[in-house]
């Protein structure tokens, strides 16, 4: 099925509740999924939670709960957050799902049967916060730079995956973009790691009971990352339902932040190659957010809860504000204050105000036949709005699209100021019809362009407009329907 689109987000660790960083990736994936559905593609959008490992077992213990009980509660919080933010995932996977555990074991067995797993002694450092093995060079003053904790020294008999065997193949795939790693800075970073040479990877742990036991040695559990990565294919029934699997695989894009690109662009494709499957088509690692210039952390107390933000601004606004804050591949900074300012200027005062003005003006008129005989520059402005839309969407340049919509809205505002429609009903009613027709169609274009980003507001606008036919300027035929709409983005105090 060439017209399919399989998109994934990382499966988030459940020791934390959802925060704005998780929401950022998930909203971006949702925008792409909605856009592709609008293009009549068959979409499979996968989200989920990562529930095994030491970190999660410890978090459960702290709360006096069994790991399963804790995971059930935490996973539900992610689902609730995604529902509040209108995330249209098609499937939500949990690594404690019986199906995931069953198929992950088949995957592990296959890797073993193909000779890519061997037993050895792991001696080295491990950061529980990252659930990752560390080298001295990863540390700053002996501490993990992300968790500010000293890693533990591990020395145990483990199973290893022959990652090094895939070094050259991965290099060819990434260089040729057959496995596209985006943006280019991340691609170069991966090529740099391949140049240094990949080491084999310990893929099991002793004495970590909260995990998936290895099918060939029940005394060890699978390293949490190894089975977590498998979620992308256990969700689509690899080994168990060939038709469903081949319908979706390879994934079109795995979306994440730059922190975990290495796992997705190197380890994961190697695991797939080892069992004779194709790597994903693209791994996209967007930037990292700080809050008011600082890394988000519980200790600093600056963790932004997307559910709270949602309660204040509404899902559409949160989606818009996050994706328009900075370029998707770049690092960015979020501040409550800037959110509030931008909400007022770009949504309540900007697009929201424009839409209310246009509907209020047209509401004063009796039904009239739309008249597009005087495009007054809207044909060119609309062409500009759409000219790079698809290309930007495909290259995940969300903020450029949103900037383009704001520019178009500004064009509309200026048009209103110049055309002064409020006096025209007395002096030149024919001209008023032209002006209103142009403005009504223009807000239709705004709604169409925004619909993957702001599904609710766009739907409200589109429901109140005539049905569009065709593309480009002059899509509306027929009569203007009169409908009143409530303000889309009410002004918010405080």
Instruction: From the candidates 52, 130, 286, 433, give the one annotated as an active-site residue.
Output: 130
Number of residues that bind ligand MSP (CB under 6 A): 19
- Catalytic annotation on 412? no
User: Applying CB under 6 A, does 70 fall inside the site for ligand MSP?
Assistant: no
Which of 52, 86, 105, 127 is catalytic? The answer is 127
Of 18-26, 144-152, 211-219, 471-479, the window that binds ligand MSP (rule: CB under 6 A) is 18-26
Q: Is 127 a catalytic residue?
A: yes
Cβ 364 to ligand MSP, closest distance in Å?
46
Q: Decide the pairing of beta strands 253-257 and 282-286.
A: parallel
Tell me how far, at minimum, the Cβ of 334 lies from ligand MSP, in Å: 9
Residue nearest to ligand MSP (CB): 21
Closest CA relative to residue 266, chosen from 285, 238, 294, 290: 285
226 or 432: whose CB is closer to ligand MSP?
A: 226
- Residue 5 as a binder of ligand MSP (CB under 6 A): the answer is no
Instruction: Pick the catalytic residue from 52, 71, 86, 144.
Output: 144
Cα–Cα dist 53/371, whole Å: 64
Does the protein bind ligand MSP through residue 12 (CB under 6 A)?
Answer: yes
Residue 147 a catalytic site member: yes
Q: Which stretch binds ligand MSP (CB under 6 A): 145-153, 198-206, 226-234, 478-486?
A: 226-234
Enumerate residues 6+ apart whose C-beta is below 8 A from 246.
none
Q: Given candidates 5, 13, 159, 343, which one binds ligand MSP under the rule CB under 6 A?
A: 13
Shortest CB 15 distance to ligand MSP, Å: 8
Under rule CB under 6 A, residue 25 binds ligand MSP:
yes
Is residue 271 involved in binding ligand MSP (CB under 6 A)? no
Check binding of 228 to ligand MSP (CB under 6 A).
yes
Shortest Cβ 280–ligand MSP spacing (Å) = 12
Residue range at the interface with ligand MSP (CB under 6 A); choices 60-68, 257-265, 432-440, 455-463: 257-265
Q: How far is the CB of 438 from ligand MSP (least distance, A)?
A: 40
259 binds ligand MSP (CB under 6 A): yes
Can you tell me the distance from the alpha carbon of 400 to that of 406, in angstroms, rounded to the nearest whole number?
A: 10
The answer for residues whose C-beta is within 8 angstroms of residue 195's C-beta and 6 or more apart is: none
Q: Which of 214, 260, 348, 435 binds ligand MSP (CB under 6 A)?
A: 260
Work out which of 6, 24, 70, 166 binds ligand MSP, going by CB under 6 A. Answer: 24
User: Which entry of 243, 298, 426, 484 is annotated as an active-site residue?
Assistant: 298
- 21-29, 135-143, 169-177, 482-490 -> range binding ligand MSP (CB under 6 A): 21-29
Q: Give the footprint of ligand MSP on residues 30-69 (CB under 6 A).
A: 50
Residue closer to ligand MSP by CB (options 93, 198) is 93
| Residue 180 token pair | 């596209």
User: Could you say whether residue 296 binds ligand MSP (CB under 6 A)?
Assistant: yes
CA-CA distance, 293 to 284, in Å (whole number)?
24
Binding flag, residue 22, ligand MSP (CB under 6 A) = yes
Total Cβ atoms within 10 A of residue 1? 9
Strand-pairing partners, residue 289, are: 332
- Alpha carbons 415 and 382: distance in angstroms, whole number: 13
- Which listed range, 100-108, 252-260, 339-347, 405-413, lies at the site for ligand MSP (CB under 6 A)? 252-260
Nearer to ligand MSP, 287 or 349 (CB): 287
104 touches ligand MSP (CB under 6 A): no
Q: Which is nearer to ligand MSP, 12 or 223 (CB)?
A: 12
Nearer to ligand MSP, 258 or 482 (CB): 258
Cis peptide before 183 (omega within 30 of 0): yes
Annotated catalytic residue 130: yes
- Binding segment for ligand MSP among 9-17, 371-379, 395-403, 423-431 (CB under 6 A)? 9-17
CB 465 within 8 A of CB 437: no
- The verdict on 323 binding ligand MSP (CB under 6 A) reads no
Scanning 16-24, 77-85, 434-442, 445-453 for contacts with ligand MSP by CB under 6 A, the matching segment is 16-24
Asked about 144 being catalytic, the answer comes back as yes
Active-site residue set: 19, 22, 127, 130, 144, 147, 295, 298
Q: Which residues bind ligand MSP (CB under 6 A)?
A: 10-13, 21-22, 24-25, 50, 228-229, 231, 256-257, 259-260, 288-289, 296
């Amino acid at each position: 099925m060439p017209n399919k689109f399989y998109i994934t987000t990382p499966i988030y660790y459940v020791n934390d509740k959802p925060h704005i960083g998780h929401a950022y990736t998930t909203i971006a994936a949702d925008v792409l999924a909605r856009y592709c559905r609008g293009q009549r593609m068959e979409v499979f959008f996968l989200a989920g939670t990562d529930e095994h490992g030491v970190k999660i077992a410890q978090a459960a213990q702290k709360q006096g709960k069994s790991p399963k009980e804790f995971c059930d509660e935490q996973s539900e919080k992610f689902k609730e957050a995604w529902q509040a933010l209108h995330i249209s995932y098609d499937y939500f996977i949990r690594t404690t799902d019986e199906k995931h555990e069953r198929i992950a074991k088949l995957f592990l067995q296959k890797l073993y049967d193909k000779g890519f797993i061997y037993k050895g002694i792991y001696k080295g450092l491990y950061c529980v916060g990252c659930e990752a093995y560390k080298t001295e060079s990863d540390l700053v003053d002996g501490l993990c730079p992300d968790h500010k904790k000293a890693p533990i020294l591990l020395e145990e008999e483990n199973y290893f995956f022959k990652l090094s065997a895939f070094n050259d193949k991965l290099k060819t795939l990434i260089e040729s973009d057959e496995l596209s790693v985006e943006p280019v800075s991340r691609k170069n970073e991966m090529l740099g790691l391949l140049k240094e040479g990949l080491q084999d990877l310990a893929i099991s742990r002793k004495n970590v009971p909260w995990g998936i036991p290895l099918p060939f040695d029940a005394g060890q559990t699978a390293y949490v990352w190894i089975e977590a990565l498998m979620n992308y294919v256990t969700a689509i029934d690899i080994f168990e339902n060939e038709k469903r699997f081949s319908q979706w695989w390879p994934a079109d894009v795995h979306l994440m932040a730059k922190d975990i690109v290495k796992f997705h662009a190197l380890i994961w494709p190697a695991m797939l190659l080892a069992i004779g499957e194709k790597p994903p088509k693209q791994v996209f690692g967007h930037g990292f957010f700080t809050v008011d210039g600082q890394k988000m952390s519980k200790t600093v107390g600056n963790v932004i809860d997307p559910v709270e933000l949602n309660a204040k601004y509404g899902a559409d606004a949160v989606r818009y504000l996050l994706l328009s804050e900075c370029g998707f591949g770049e690092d960015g900074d979020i501040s409550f204050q800037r959110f509030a300012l931008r909400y007022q200027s770009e949504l309540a005062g900007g697009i929201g105000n424009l839409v209310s003005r246009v509907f209020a003006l047209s509401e004063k008129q009796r039904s009239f036949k739309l008249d597009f005989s005087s495009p007054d520059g809207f044909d060119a402005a609309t062409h500009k709005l759409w000219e790079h839309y698809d290309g930007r969407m495909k290259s995940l340049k969300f903020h450029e699209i949103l900037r383009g919509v704001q520019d178009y809205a500004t064009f509309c505002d200026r048009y209103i100021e110049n055309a002064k429609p409020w006096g025209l009903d007395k002096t030149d009613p024919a001209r008023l019809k032209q002006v209103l027709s142009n403005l009504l169609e223009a807000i239709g274009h705004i709604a169409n362009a925004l619909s993957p980003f702001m599904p609710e507001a766009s739907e409200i606008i589109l429901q109140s407009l005539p049905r569009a036919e065709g593309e480009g300027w002059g899509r509306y035929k027929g009569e203007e329907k009169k409908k009143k709409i409530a303000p889309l983005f009410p002004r918010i105090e405080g």
